[in-house]
Amino acid sequence: MARRYDAEFRERAVRLLADSRANYMSETKALQSVSKSLGVAAESLRRWQERSDATNAADPGESEELGKPRRENAELRRANEISGSASAFFVGTGSTRHDAD
């Protein structure tokens, strides 16, 4: 039996997909990962995304207005992850810099 998801869940899923695209090498990988984490079929999420894109195409000003901050947000999240990983690496190696007096 097919499971029904409410509009709010579908919208959040599509936003999550859009925000996480920068973290993956391909659209397909992002789609598979996000759908798996949400427990939905990848094909369902793809269709929700297509519907959302079609709706946003009807009002291009709004999608452009929201697209830039979302892309910037995704970039900043990725940079933050990289920074955190680098910090963890250096803490784990015990590398410290001591200046001689």
Q: Under 8 Å CB-to-CB from 5, ≥6 apart: which residues?
A: 13, 40, 44
pLDDT by residue (tens digit) across 15-54? 999 888 888 888 889 899 999 999 999 999 999 998 887 7
Instruction: Concatenate the DSSP letters of all residues of 13-66 into one string.
Output: HHHHHHHHGGGSSSHHHHHHHHHHHHTS-HHHHHHHHHHHHHHHHHSHHHHHHH
Contact status, residue 73 vs residue 22, Cβ threshold 8 Å? no
CATH architecture of residue range(s) 7-85: Orthogonal Bundle (1.10)
Domain range list for the chain:
7-85
pLDDT tens digits, 63-93: 566 777 878 888 888 888 888 888 887 887 6
